[in-house]
A and B are shown apart, each in its own frame.
Chain A
């Protein structure tokens, strides 16, 4: 107000912030914090994803335990269910990933992100980081539940860590798949609608709860070759827990299958997701 004619702002008034890995990493952390706040303020989805498998285990462990247990020892059967329960929670998390991505990319917020001097891919990295942090918390909580149910690590710490690593690797591949799914579905609601009907059969149609021999002949191979079966079997082995008897190839090489399948899945879905993301809104 002191000068009569304000000079027009020089175009160089704003320096361009440096872009690069450091800025992308800092953006990823900023957005991860936002995602964690979202989760704390809308805890419905994580609560469902966590409670469903716990309820399943309680149902199988206590209600059906007497008839389901292959050895007739109900306590042993319940211990056997704990790795299955964790694998289920890892799977159910895919709904949260897909919903989160669909929400970020369909909301008007996305256009604001894209007019900022930031790497839009930080949105995806933040999603991955958030959901992996969530997975770690979930595993810790579920192991606590397991201890209450009488489950114990019966191998050694190295084995237990290896089991947890396999579970997290499995989750990582599903997070990547969830990102792709979230980019493809038309809206956030569709994401969760799709996932639960997918996650439920994928986790139950396995050798998580009952041995394959108890299934009809045509179904047994489906359950045996379901990667979830290999993951659960591998986790049981590594934790030193009893396993359901099986002589199928994926069960005998459970650790190998549980390590390779997630890697294969990621090789397929990660490039697809990145390509899809780059083309959004163009």
Chain B
């Protein structure tokens, strides 16, 4: 399909500016800006209630923003909703497959609703069942599926029409580690095929693993944006970490390290660790090793590492990510 006038420059796959949305007294979105180039993965990282789900609902045309605008490949989500819907796929926080239908019937039904002919729908359903390893369960009711199978079916449904932009709202919440790996592999595969993915997550590991860019959201607005490495750099560089076996040794280790490295150590009494910011990895290791030599076997571990995204998140928002509990808001259940 040749386009009469190619847009120059090409529009971003996902672009939103100044999104606000209030539900009663709650500001779910409070001036959110988002940006994702085609073929990349953008992770929205934030605790429960940060506005991630509302952001996805807005971008997928399910809800209109109070102010601000969102565009998918240059198409406004409010004014050109039909065209947007033809280009996106959505997998919600909770699987939205029809539980009374079988996996195959689900895929065929949604394919028909996407406008495919009956024959095309059957073929596409068969392909996706194979691709997502659901062939054996294809003719069983979706209600009998395990959590991981249901999520795979849900993902398959969102991919029926090979969307340009795929939205995944907490795609692995509540999944066991093996199913989570499976979902990650599917997403990575899609991105290799050129799909743009926007995912929300409260798992920092997930953002680190999948995302090209991370937008950290808190209280309905972006508090930081960049590659996972950028975000780490923003919090600070390398840290030298020393772990001890006995809490009684923490004080001495901190004293020795502070003296050897010329920086204020932080002491983690629960993790039995002492950390010091450093600049040169090798020099720091030499100095620390020399300073701690006398403590010998009382030292459990000595390492220089980059801050984890958890620490980044903590320093950006002032609070830790919430444990993986749901707060009752889902993409689907809001009426």
Chain A residues packing against B (C-beta within 8 Å):
1, 6-19, 23, 26-27, 30-31, 33-34, 37-38, 41-42, 105-118, 280-282
Is A117 in contact with B96, judged by CB distance below 8 angstroms?
A: no
Closest to A279 in B: B335
Q: Which of B85, B94, B101, B113 contacts A37 (CB 8 A)?
A: B101
Sample 12 A-B pairs with CB under 8 A, ordered by A number.
Answer: A1-B192, A8-B10, A8-B13, A8-B39, A14-B86, A27-B113, A110-B332, A111-B92, A112-B90, A116-B110, A117-B114, A282-B63
B180 is an interface residue with CB less than 8 A from chain A: no
Is B87 in contact with A26, judged by CB distance below 8 angstroms?
A: no
Is A109 in contact with B62, judged by CB distance below 8 angstroms?
A: no
Is B335 in contact with A281, judged by CB distance below 8 angstroms?
A: yes
How far does the Cβ of B155 sit from chain A's closest Cβ, in whole Å?
12
Which B residues lie within 8 Å of A8 (CB)? 10, 13, 37-39, 194
Q: Which of A9, A30, A107, A282 contacts B332 (CB 8 A)?
A: A107
B70 is an interface residue with CB less than 8 A from chain A: no
Indicate whether A111 sits within 8 Å of B3 (C-beta atoms), given known contacts A11-B10, A14-B164, A19-B82: no
B163 is an interface residue with CB less than 8 A from chain A: yes
- The complex places the Cα of A113 from the Cα of B141 at a distance, in Å, of 20
- The complex places the Cα of A111 from the Cα of B37 at a distance, in Å, of 25
Q: Which of A26, A30, A33, A117 has the most CB of B within 10 A?
A: A117
Which A residues lie within 8 Å of B7 (CB)? 11
- The complex places the Cα of A11 from the Cα of B162 at a distance, in Å, of 12
Closest to B61 in A: A115
Chain B, residues 91-111, CB within 8 Å of chain A (1/0): the string is 010111110110001000110
Indicate whether A15 sits within 8 Å of B332 (C-beta atoms), given known contacts A108-B92, A115-B61, A116-B114: no
Is A17 in contact with B115, judged by CB distance below 8 angstroms?
A: yes
Which A residues lie within 8 Å of B85 (CB)? 115-117
Which B residues lie within 8 Å of A117 (CB)? 82, 85-86, 114-115
Given pairs A6-B39, A31-B109, A112-B90, 11 additional interface contacts (CB within 8 A): A6-B193, A8-B39, A9-B194, A11-B10, A14-B164, A41-B100, A107-B96, A108-B96, A108-B333, A116-B113, A281-B334
How far does the Cβ of A165 sit from chain B's closest Cβ, in whole Å?
32
Indicate whether A38 sits within 8 Å of B96 (C-beta atoms), given known contacts A10-B3, A111-B332, A118-B113: no
Chain B residues packing against A (C-beta within 8 Å):
1, 3, 7, 10-11, 13, 37-39, 57, 60-64, 73-75, 82-83, 85-90, 92, 94-98, 100-101, 105, 109-110, 112-115, 141, 157, 161-164, 192-196, 330-335
How far does the Cβ of A38 sit from chain B's closest Cβ, in whole Å?
5
Q: Decide if the interface of chain B is mainly helix, strand, loop or mixed.
A: loop
Which B residues lie within 8 Å of A109 (CB)? 96-98, 332
- The complex places the Cα of A280 from the Cα of B62 at a distance, in Å, of 10
Is A112 in contact with B92, judged by CB distance below 8 angstroms?
A: yes
Is B109 in contact with A34, judged by CB distance below 8 angstroms?
A: yes
Is A6 in contact with B332, judged by CB distance below 8 angstroms?
A: no
Which B residues lie within 8 Å of A13 (CB)? 1, 87, 162, 164
Is B39 in contact with A9, judged by CB distance below 8 angstroms?
A: yes
Q: Which of B10, B113, B193, B330 has the most CB of A within 10 A?
A: B113
Is B86 in contact with A16, judged by CB distance below 8 angstroms?
A: yes
How far does the Cβ of A124 sit from chain B's closest Cβ, in whole Å?
15
Is B331 in contact with A108, judged by CB distance below 8 angstroms?
A: yes
Which A residues lie within 8 Å of B332 (CB)? 107-112
- The complex places the Cα of A109 from the Cα of B333 at a distance, in Å, of 9
Closest to B111 in A: A30
- The complex places the Cα of A98 from the Cα of B114 at a distance, in Å, of 26
How far does the Cβ of A6 sit from chain B's closest Cβ, in whole Å?
5
- The complex places the Cα of A33 from the Cα of B105 at a distance, in Å, of 10
Which A residues lie within 8 Å of B86 (CB)? 14-17, 117
- The complex places the Cα of A19 from the Cα of B80 at a distance, in Å, of 13
Q: Which of A10, A41, A110 contacts B141 (CB 8 A)?
A: A41
Is A106 in contact with B100, judged by CB distance below 8 angstroms?
A: no
How far does the Cβ of B185 sit from chain A's closest Cβ, in whole Å?
16
- The complex places the Cα of A18 from the Cα of B86 at a distance, in Å, of 10
Which A residues lie within 8 Å of B75 (CB)? 11
Which B residues lie within 8 Å of A15 (CB)? 1, 86
Closest to A110 in B: B332
Which B residues lie within 8 Å of A281 (CB)? 62-63, 334-335
How far does the Cβ of B107 sit from chain A's closest Cβ, in whole Å?
12
Which A residues lie within 8 Å of B334 (CB)? 111, 281
How far does the Cβ of B33 sit from chain A's closest Cβ, in whole Å?
21
- The complex places the Cα of A63 from the Cα of B150 at a distance, in Å, of 51
How far does the Cβ of B189 sit from chain A's closest Cβ, in whole Å?
11
